[in-house]
């Protein structure tokens, strides 16, 4: 046994001990697949946050936490007699070899773009093989099959649009998308006047969907772009708070227009 495989086995043994009804951790014992999902999502975001901050020590720690989530699911599946961690490793190893024939077989791929297309084609073939000639719910097969509903809405919109584009449902350039964004914004403005909450929500959803489409046409990941926008807002807002406090003010001491005109603008200009 190599040192690395020994480390993995140690982690698996720890998980088994934690889940032992006789002397294990009460919290770990009572968990189910469903109850662990929010923790898995949170750990994945913490990995992303460590990468964004460039903190490699934190990344090592967060990757360990994320790995532990996989081990947790595998342990519960083993207890139920469904599969174990070794089966998970074997399945993903087989998948990676199968989806990289240009590395592990004699196929030839020109560049990363061609590899992405080949990857998607392989996934499509696998879905068809699993589902026969029908979609996952018995409906006719669709180009959108496999885009799971549990994804964050922004990410799912991006993936749905990419799938539609693969079969030709797409504009050639960003220009028409910009026009569509303007059109959807006008419809939102019209619904604001009408004051119908449900219709306003519907139109706002269309506007957000179009903004995601514009990001895709500009070859910008919308999730990454929005994270950048969030970080910028947080940075400027915190600086504005500091500037207000230095002058002896708080937000309640002046009108929001004055705060925006003076302190928010000053925080922006400092960058």
What string of DSSP letters covers 142-153? -TTTT--TTS-H
Answer yes or no: is 47 within a domain: yes
Which of 63, 98, 133 terminates a domain? The answer is 98
Asked if residue 157 belongs to a domain, the reply is no
pLDDT of residue 258: 82
pLDDT of residue 186: 96
In a domain, 94, yes or no: yes
pLDDT at 133: 47
pLDDT band at 139 (very low <50, low <70, confident <90, very high): low
Task: Report, as an integer, the average pLDDT of 81-94.
Answer: 96
Number of domains in the chain: 2
Q: Which residues are paired to 134 by β-bridges?
A: 140
Is residue 176 in a domain? no
- pLDDT tens track for 203-257: 999 999 999 999 999 999 998 899 899 999 999 999 999 999 999 988 888 888 8
Domain closes at, from 56, 78, 98 = 98
Per-residue confidence at 134, pLDDT binned at 50, 70, 90? very low
Domain span including residue 36: 3-98
Of 74, 98, 122, the one marking the end of a domain is 98
Lowest mean pLDDT among 65-74, 96-105, 169-178: 96-105
pLDDT at 135 over 50: no
- Has residue 196 got a pLDDT over 60? yes
Q: Does residue 7 lie within any of the structural domains?
A: yes
Q: Which positions ≥6 away from 156 have C-beta within 8 Å? A: 147, 148, 149
Domain of 40, CATH number, reads 1.10.287.1080
Give the integer Cα–Cα distance in Å for 85 and 9.
10
Whether 58 is in a domain gets the answer yes
* In-domain check, residue 37: yes
């Amino acid at each position: 046994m190599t040192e690395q495989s020994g480390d993995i086995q140690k982690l698996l043994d720890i998980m088994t001990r934690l889940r032992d009804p006789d002397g294990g951790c009460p919290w770990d014992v009572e968990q189910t697949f469903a109850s662990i999902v929010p923790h898995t999502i949170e750990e994945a975001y913490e990995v992303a946050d460590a990468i964004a901050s460039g903190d490699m020590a934190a990344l090592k720690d967060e990757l360990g936490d994320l790995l532990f989530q996989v081990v947790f699911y595998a342990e519960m599946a083993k207890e139920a007699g469904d599969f174990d961690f070794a089966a998970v490793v074997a399945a993903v190893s087989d998948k990676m070899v199968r989806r990289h024939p240009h590395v592990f077989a004699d196929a030839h791929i020109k560049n990363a773009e061609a590899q992405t297309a080949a990857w998607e084609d392989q996934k499509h073939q696998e879905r068809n093989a699993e589902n026969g000639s029908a979609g996952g719910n018995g409906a006719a097969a669709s180009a959108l099959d496999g885009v799971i509903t549990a994804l964050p809405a922004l990410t799912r919109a991006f993936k749905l649009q990419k799938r539609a584009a693969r079969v030709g449902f797409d504009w050639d350039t960003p220009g028409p998308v910009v026009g569509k964004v303007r059109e959807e914004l006008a419809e939102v403005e019209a619904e604001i006047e009408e004051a119908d909450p449900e219709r306003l929500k519907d139109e706002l959803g269309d506007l957000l969907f179009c903004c995601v489409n514009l990001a895709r046409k500009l070859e910008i990941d919308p999730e990454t772009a929005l994270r950048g926008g969030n970080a910028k807002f947080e940075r400027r807002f915190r600086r504005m708070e500091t500037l207000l406090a230095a002058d002896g003010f708080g937000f309640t001491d002046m009108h929001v227009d004055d705060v925006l005109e003076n302190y928010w603008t000053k925080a922006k200009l400092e960058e």
